[in-house]
Amino acid sequence: MAETGRERLWESVHAERARLADDLSGLRAEQWAAPSLCGRWTVEEVVAHLTATASVGRLRWLRSIAGARFDPDVHNRRRLEEYRGATPADTLDRFRDVIRSTVAPTRDTAAWLGEVVVHGQDIRHPLGLETTPESDAVTEVARFFAVRDFTVDSRKAAAGLRLEADDGPFAVGSGPVVRGGTLALTMAMAGRSAYCDDLTGDGVATLRSRCPTG
């Protein structure tokens, strides 16, 4: 990807982090402890994970994953605990500190945009928060997810299906059709079965069956 393209993606990362931080500033104590769509993690734990992602560069990531015996769950848990604050307010302050960070384990900037887009919705969806990411940012993530497995098995989820956005230009693949908003398609490719409820077409059942949270 051209450097100008990478810079544009980083600007989207920063914008989505800032948008999420604004949403988080209004949460009540019980909302910080609420379950997210991300496995067993609470809202506060997801925020701490996002801070860790924006704080750990390649060399430190390699040392951390090796120290976790190449178990990403162990690695993620250790880094999450490192960047979680003593209180939710402290956790939010730490997240705000990395809004403009360009630190990442790899140069796959679209993947790190995907981190904040997906985890932002992991938080917002169960809390009923109506903020959504910018459509251009979501389209970039959808295109990346459709062709590459990275932090999620998104390419495998989309294999053999025709995904068509009804609110933007994203369309990919061939096979039974799955149609809906770009955000819903992206979240479903990321394994969030709750978003399959917003999709239509003959391929929805197949996509839902590929969601680990289904």
Query: For residue range 111-169, what is the model confidence (pLDDT) as tens digits?
Result: 999 999 999 999 999 999 999 999 999 999 999 999 999 989 999 999 999 999 999 99
Between 66 and 36, residue with greater pLDDT: 36
Q: Which helix (H) or strand (E) holds 183?
A: helix 182-189
Let me know whether 159 and 122 are in one domain. Answer: no
Whole-structure pTM over 0.85, yes or no?
yes
Query: What integer best gives the mean pLDDT of the chain?
Result: 93
Let me know whether 116 and 149 are in one domain. Answer: no
Looking at the domain assignment, is residue 73 inside a domain? Answer: yes
Q: If you count DSSP H runs as helices and E runs as strands, how many of each does the chain have, helices first?
A: 11, 3
How many structural domains are present in the chain? 2
**Predicted confidence (pLDDT) at residue 2 exceeds the cutoff of 60:** no
Let me know whether 123 and 140 are in one domain. Answer: no
The pLDDT value recorded for residue 70 is 80
Let me know whether 60 and 150 are in one domain. Answer: no
Sheet containing 162-165: give its strands across: 171-172, 162-165, 177-180
Looking at the domain assignment, is residue 102 inside a domain? Answer: yes
Helix (H, G, I), strand (E, B) or coil at 153: coil
Domain range for 160 is 135-209
Structure confidence by residue, pLDDT tens digits, 65-114: 788 678 878 878 888 889 999 999 999 999 999 999 999 999 999 999 99
Let me know whether 121 and 139 are in one domain. Answer: no
Closest by Cα among 125, 114, 95, 131 to 34: 125
**Predicted confidence (pLDDT) at residue 1 exceeds the cutoff of 60:** no
Looking at the domain assignment, is residue 185 inside a domain? Answer: yes
Helix (H, G, I), strand (E, B) or coil at 156: helix
The pLDDT value recorded for residue 103 is 95
Between 56 and 168, residue with greater pLDDT: 168
Of 72, 96, 127, the one marking the end of a domain is: 127
